[in-house]
Amino acid sequence: MLRGLYTAASGMITQQRRHDTVTQNIANINTAGYKQVNSVTHSFPDVLISLMGDKENGGQKTIGRLTTGVFAEESLASFMQGDLKETNNSSDFGLVSNLVLIDPATDEPIPFDASGKYVAEDGEVIYRPEVFFTVQDANGETRYTRDGGFRVNAVGDLLTDQGQRVLDTDGNPIALPPGITMDQVKSDSLGNLSYDVDGVQTDLAAIGVVVVNNPHQLVREGHGVFRVDNVQAADIRALEAEDNASVRQGYLESSNVDTAQAMVDLMAAQRAYESNQKLIQYYDKSLEKAVNEIGRV
């Protein structure tokens, strides 16, 4: 009976965490470049149920297995492409990516699922590479984001909404020359910036756009910003012309949260939480009856 009590309690904790994850996604529906998070659950190790045999027959008789509850194992980000929203703001930049990997065994493109994952026949898990802007935080550390809602401060530095400096392909902060505004700056599909003065086109810098071959190695820091603790595992490289990815000036990438599915998941988590709550109440009444009534016999 107590095993069932603990199992129901673990279910409540798991559904609460699932509810919190979905709530976070819903709260960021209008956040540019936000990537939704999916909660992954896993059962506790199975317990082998056995019956003690008598001495003549010897040994134990296996009855079966029983799981002892569930827990929220981890939260995985979904890096699916979000819709582009036109803003006509010259300091806004959206990323469009649909990078293709070729399976060396078949020479065909790898068929990634909706979450950007593919499991090969030998069990190897392959993730679709994704592209990110490179920025610099207050400590001078390199970070990555899909939020291209940039702005220019009083001294001409190109910054994110959080005040982080936007880096170029060489890892240097991008700054506009004195007297130049973002309305004069144009970008090509690779993020190469240039500005026009009296009909003369001058190269400025190239926005640092990188390809992360294993985006699930990124660690979420908040506000749409990610860091990398293991650069080798993440396998980061510069964006190349042959990559099926581009930079769009005057656009922002919307959140990739599926609103309808988020509401379904929210209701499912709530119903499952209530079911586990009812089970705990049932076990509580059963224990009360066993102690107060059966104990008198």
The pLDDT, as a whole number, for residue 42 is 77
Burial class (CB in 10 A: 0-12, 13-18, 19+), 63: exposed
Q: How many domains does the chain have?
A: 2
* Range 260-281 average pLDDT: 91
Residue 55 reports pLDDT greater than 60: no
The pLDDT, as a whole number, for residue 194 is 95
Residues 150, 237 share a domain: yes
Residues 54, 154 share a domain: no
Residues spanned by the domain of 201: 88-97+129-253
Residues 92, 7 share a domain: no
Q: What is the pLDDT of residues 252-262, one digit of tens each?
A: 999 999 899 99
Does the residue 124 lie in any domain? no
CB atoms within 10 A of CB 245: 21
Q: Helix, strand or coil for residue 113?
A: coil
CB atoms within 10 A of CB 60: 11
Residues 239, 144 share a domain: yes
Whether the full predicted model's pTM is greater than 0.85, yes or no, is no
Beta bridge partners of 85: 252
Residues 275, 204 share a domain: no
Which region holds residue 96: left if phi is over 0, alpha if psi is between -120 and 50, else beta? Answer: beta
Residues 235, 180 share a domain: yes
Residue 194 has which token pair?
């240039």
List the strands of the sheet with 200-206, edge to edge. 185-187, 192-197, 200-206
Does the residue 110 lie in any domain? no
Does the residue 121 lie in any domain? no
What is the identity of the amino acid at 65? R
How far is residue 109's CA from residue 103's CA, in Å, rounded to a whole number?
A: 6
Identify which of 86, 99, 98, 136 has the alpha carbon closest to the alpha carbon of residue 248.
86
Residue 91 has which token pair?
């300091």
Residues 246, 138 share a domain: yes
Residues 163, 149 share a domain: yes
Residues 187, 285 share a domain: no
Q: Residue 267 — pLDDT band, cuts 50, 70, 90?
A: very high
Residues 186, 262 share a domain: no
How far is residue 204's CA from residue 190's CA, in Å, rounded to a whole number?
A: 13
* Range 49-54 average pLDDT: 65
Give the contacts of 134 (CB within 8 A, at least 6 positions apart): 142, 143, 144, 166, 167, 171, 208, 209, 210
How far is residue 120's CA from residue 102's CA, in Å, rounded to a whole number?
A: 12
Residue 49, H or E segment: strand 47-52
How far is residue 165's CA from residue 180's CA, in Å, rounded to a whole number?
A: 18
Q: What is the pLDDT of residues 81-115, one digit of tens each?
A: 899 999 999 999 999 998 888 887 788 888 888 77
Q: Residue 51 — pLDDT band, cuts 50, 70, 90?
A: low
Asked whether 162 and 213 are in contact (CB, 8 A), the reply is no
Residues 178, 151 share a domain: yes
Q: Helix, strand or coil for residue 93?
A: strand
Residue 9 reports pLDDT greater than 70: yes
Q: Residue 69 — pLDDT band, cuts 50, 70, 90?
A: confident
Residues 236, 218 share a domain: yes
Mean pLDDT check: name the lowest of 104-113, 137-146, 193-202: 104-113
The pLDDT, as a whole number, for residue 188 is 93
Q: Helix, strand or coil for residue 282?
A: helix
